Amino acid sequence: MNENKKQIVVEVIDQEIDLEVFGKKIESRMDWLGCGADIFFVGRVRDFNHGKKVVGVSYDAFKPLAEKTFHEICQEAALEWGPLMSLTLLHRVGRLEVGDASVYISVTTPHRDEAFEACRYVIEQLKIRAPIWKKEHYDTGDSEWLKGHELCRHHGPAHKHVRSLQEQKGG
Domain 6-169, architecture per CATH: Alpha-Beta Complex (3.90)
| Residues near 10 by beta carbon (within 8 Å), at least 6 away in sequence | 67, 70, 71, 74, 88, 89, 90
pLDDT for 158: 42
Three-state DSSP state, 13: strand
pTM score, whole prediction: 0.81
Binning pLDDT at 50, 70 and 90, where does residue 76 land? very high
Helices (H), 32-136: 63-81, 112-129
Question: 16-75 pLDDT, tens per residue?
Answer: 988 787 777 666 655 666 788 889 899 999 999 989 999 999 999 999 999 999 999 999
Strands 6-13 and 85-92, sheet pairing: parallel
Q: Which residue has the higher pLDDT, 83 or 76?
A: 76
Q: Strand, helix or coil at 74?
A: helix
